[in-house]
Amino acid sequence: MDLVEVNEAFAPQYLAVEKALGLDPEKTNVNGGAIAIGHPLGASGSRITAHLVHELRRRGGKYAVGSACIGGGQGIALIIENTA
């Protein structure tokens, strides 16, 4: 993956995910994640998707993965491919 976006509600949650998955901090939440922009409930999916699409284009990357918690122990993820 060229980019990873983890929608974090709390810093310790992100740090645990980064450690457990062995994420590269140079590729993860590269322009700040939900904490940096105020954790916009109800807008997370749109924010993550738009951020990854624009950043993939800017960097010339091929693949990105975005993830978000849904609450109650649920989660969702998407993979984006830059075909340009």
**Domain boundaries, given as residue ranges, for the chain:** 3-81
The mean pLDDT value for 28-39 works out to 80
**Confidence band of 24 (pLDDT split at 50, 70, 90):** very high
CB atoms within 10 A of CB 83: 5
Percent of the chain with pLDDT over 70: 95
- Please tell me the pTM assigned to this model: 0.84
pLDDT at 82: 95
Q: What CATH number does the domain located at 3-81 have?
A: 3.40.47.10
- Mean per-residue pLDDT for 14-29? 92
CB 34 within 8 A of CB 9: yes
